[in-house]
A and B are shown apart, each in its own frame.
Chain A
Amino acid sequence: MNSLLTIFLGMVLINNFILSKFLGLCPFFGVSKKLSNAISMGTAVTLVMVIASIATSVIYNYILVPYKVEFMNIIIYILVIAALVQIVEIVIKRTNITLYNALGIYLPLITTNCAVLGVTLINAQNNYTLVQSIISALGGGLGFTLILIIMSAIREKNELADTPKSMRGLPIAFIIASLLSLAFMGFNGLL
């Protein structure tokens, strides 16, 4: 049952990063106020997640495991991710200035996004191969983007609603997230 499709659907719908694993919540609540920002952030996170998964999967399978130093993975992963974010930022700036302007400040913020470190740790924990890691990162990133887009669309409408004073802003956003999470629990029986 550990086929690529299972991993992909599992990451997008069932073990959704935001709604069931609670990873990447800070950017989720910070960025999900406007639809356009949500799309930029989602793209940036997906991109970095896939690249980081490739790099860390190679390092894990070909360096850490053969030399039996798996316990060093936390330090190495966080350094690899920080370096990768810098490189991706430079490359995008040189090659595609429109994309760079659209992603703007979100790229550097991704270093401390737990979703990126989370996906690399999940890959290591499940002993995924390189291809499986890429699929799981892609699924995780797309799932993250999907929820970010749904959430921002709901919050744009919610701005117009008359919310009780103490519920305005973050508390009502959490309630919306809770209802979304409840809806996504319906996918549990899918696989």
Chain B
Amino acid sequence: MTFSPQLEERFAKMLTRYPEGRTRSAVVPMLIYGQDEVGAVTKELIEEIARRCKVTPLQVDEVVGYYSMLHRKPQGKFHVQVCTNISCQLVGGEELYEHAKKKLGLGHKETSADGLFSLEEVECMGACSWAPAVEINYDFHHFVTPEKLDQLIDGLRKAH
């Protein structure tokens, strides 16, 4: 399995960062960067990372279920993450999440039929003082209102 030149370069660098014989340390970063390019943690990705990190595929596989950002099935092109944890809850985060469900016609961890959007109710993302917060892929959006979320989603739909 080969990756884009940029990712190959990143992976090569990652494997040299840790003390000698400790390439297993690169497993989690390689999984998340690999997933971003491949679209999901596939069997092939697991085997490839295992080969490069010199561990068994099982040692890679067992961490996948532990980390909430790793997923075995593809998510939408735009993964909408709405925080409902306490700081967001107090200023309308739960209502915002309900609004997002209706707007996208999706439930928690569901992906639209056209593969464009997926939705997830997430735990604290570290945007508490600028709540309610939404992260779409890796982009943070602060002080999000239902209207602002509609604009964001409509904008992404149009731009696509």
Asked if A and B bind, the verdict is: no
Which A residues form the contact surface with B (CB < 8 A)? none
